[in-house]
């Protein structure tokens, strides 16, 4: 629709100029310049579409003048066409710069948004993103009468792991745990989170208590399969996690759910670690 309108404008302007030339009435070159600018005006078309319109409009401007004007008038008209061609070239360059700048700004905004909502080490969502999403999940759960379970976990004796193997090995262990958690958060409302340090969380929308318990055991089993050696741990010879999980109650706020899940995590640690406490 926009393309047809612009081409009609080009043809109409061209015929108007030819009409004025036949009457020997002076006409400003600015008419063609304005038409060139209009072809590249940001009207929702892509740069390629604008370029194609410009390529089609050039013969629409030149050929009618050669057909309808007398030879004596064609010299001045071809001069106008030359000016129009230069204007198209300049406008095309300006439109390219505009389009390129807009693309860069879009990508930069996407990058900044990702950095603001994700943990740079594990690529999981961060605490800021988690807080916003938990509020959204609770509101949606109330509307749909769906369960909203929160599972919090903490790597057992992680300070000893860092002291024994070094911080580089500790970072790699965090990345492996992050990848394992992401494996369980695949649905749109699910979320795997690194809250900070060695503390993580899983939000699994719609899971019931039994599914949550099964998932916790699957996490323990998956971590055992990774077999990340932890010689400094008094709990096991490999990296383990303690977990606290809770289903949100009706009317429970995100702060209350988080606090109670965190208390369950603390109870799991008191129970000897490498353990899931479900409340």
Question: 145 and 99 in one domain?
Answer: no
Question: 183 and 205 in one domain?
Answer: yes
Question: 268 and 144 in one domain?
Answer: yes
Beta bridge partners of 251: none
Domain for residue 185, yes or no?
yes
Domain for residue 122, yes or no?
no
Q: For residue 81, what are its two tokens? A: 């066409």
pLDDT in tens, 200-214: 999 999 999 999 999
Could you say which of 21, 144, 172, 198 is catalytic?
A: 198
Question: 193 and 138 in one domain?
Answer: yes
pLDDT at site 199: 97
Q: Do residues 193 and 203 touch, judged by C-beta distance below 8 A?
A: yes
pLDDT at site 70: 67
Question: 270 and 143 in one domain?
Answer: yes
Where in the sequence is the domain holding 153, given as residue range(s)?
127-278
Mean pLDDT of 83-101: 71
Domain for residue 104, yes or no?
yes
Question: 267 and 164 in one domain?
Answer: yes
Question: 38 and 152 in one domain?
Answer: no
Label residue 5 by pLDDT band (50, 70, 90).
very low
End position of a domain, from candidates 91, 116, 141: 116
Domain for residue 198, yes or no?
yes
Question: 225 and 144 in one domain?
Answer: yes
Label residue 279 by pLDDT band (50, 70, 90).
confident
Q: Is 199 a catalytic residue?
A: no
Q: What is the 3-state secondary structure (H, E, C) of 176-245?
A: HHHHHHHHHCCCCCCEEEEEECCEEEEECCCCCHHHHHHHHHHHHHHHHHHCCECCCCCCCCECCEEEEE
Question: 183 and 247 in one domain?
Answer: yes
Question: 263 and 140 in one domain?
Answer: yes
pLDDT at site 65: 65
Q: Do residues 121 and 171 touch, judged by C-beta distance below 8 A?
A: yes
Label residue 45 by pLDDT band (50, 70, 90).
low
Question: 178 and 61 in one domain?
Answer: no
Q: How many residues does the chain have?
A: 279
Label residue 71 by pLDDT band (50, 70, 90).
confident
pLDDT at site 53: 66
**C-alpha of 7 from chain center:** 36
Domain for residue 121, yes or no?
no
Mean pLDDT of 168-185: 96
End position of a domain, from candidates 97, 116, 135: 116
Question: 158 and 105 in one domain?
Answer: no
Can you give the CATH number for the domain in which 216 is found? Answer: 3.30.70.270
Measured between alpha carbons, how far is 267 from 119 in angstroms, rounded to an integer? 27
Measured between alpha carbons, how far is 262 from 86 in angstroms, rounded to an integer? 69
Angle (CA) 255 240 266, round 5°: 35
Q: For residue 169, what are its two tokens? A: 């090995």
pLDDT at site 177: 97
Strands (E), the chain: 149-155, 191-196, 199-203, 241-247, 276-278
Mean pLDDT of 219-224: 93
Measured between alpha carbons, how far is 204 from 102 in angstroms, rounded to an integer? 37
Q: What single DSSP character describes residue 153?
A: E
Q: Does residue 79 have a pLDDT over 90?
A: no
End position of a domain, from candidates 96, 116, 136: 116
Q: Does residue 19 have a pLDDT over 50?
A: no
The share of the chain scoring above pLDDT 70, in percent, equals: 70
Q: Does residue 16 have a pLDDT over 60?
A: no
Measured between alpha carbons, how far is 63 from 155 in angstroms, rounded to an integer? 76
pLDDT in tens, 122-150: 999 999 999 999 999 999 999 998 999 99
Domain for residue 78, yes or no?
yes
Closest CA to 63 of 7, 16, 18: 18
Beta bridge partners of 154: 199, 242
Domain for residue 17, yes or no?
yes
pTM for the whole structure: 0.70
Q: Does residue 34 have a pLDDT over 60?
A: no
pLDDT at site 102: 82
pLDDT at site 213: 92
Number of domains in the chain: 2
Q: Do residues 277 and 245 touch, judged by C-beta distance below 8 A?
A: yes
Domain for residue 204, yes or no?
yes
């Amino acid at each position: 629709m926009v393309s047809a309108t612009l081409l009609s404008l080009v043809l109409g302007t061209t015929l108007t100029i030819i009409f004025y030339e036949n009457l020997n009435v002076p006409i400003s070159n600015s008419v063609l310049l304005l038409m060139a600018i209009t072809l590249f005006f940001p009207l929702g078309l892509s740069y390629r579409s604008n370029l194609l319109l410009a390529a089609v409009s050039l013969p629409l401007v030149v050929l009618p003048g050669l057909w309808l004007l007398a030879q004596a008038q064609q010299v001045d008209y071809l001069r106008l066409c030359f000016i129009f061609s230069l204007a198209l070239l300049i406008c095309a360059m300006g439109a390219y710069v505009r389009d390129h700048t807009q693309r860069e700004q879009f990508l930069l905004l996407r990058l900044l948004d990702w950095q603001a909502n994700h943990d740079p080490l594990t690529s999981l969502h961060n605490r800021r993103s988690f807080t916003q999403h938990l509020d959204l999940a609770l509101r949606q759960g109330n509307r749909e009468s769906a369960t909203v379970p929160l599972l919090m976990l903490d790597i057992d004796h992680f300070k000893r792991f860092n002291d024994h193997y070094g911080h580089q090995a500790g970072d790699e262990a965090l990345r492996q745990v992050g990848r394992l958690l992401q494996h369980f958060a695949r649905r749109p409302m699910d979320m795997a989170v690194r809250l900070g340090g060695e503390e993580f969380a899983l939000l699994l929308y719609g899971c019931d208590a039994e599914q949550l318990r099964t998932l916790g055991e699957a996490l323990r089993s998956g971590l055992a399969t990774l077999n990340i050696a932890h010689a400094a741990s008094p709990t096991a010879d490999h990296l383990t996690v303690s977990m606290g999980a809770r289903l949100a109650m009706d009317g429970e706020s995100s702060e209350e759910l988080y606090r109670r899940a965190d208390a369950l995590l603390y109870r799991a640690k008191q129970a000897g670690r490498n353990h899931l406490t479900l409340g």
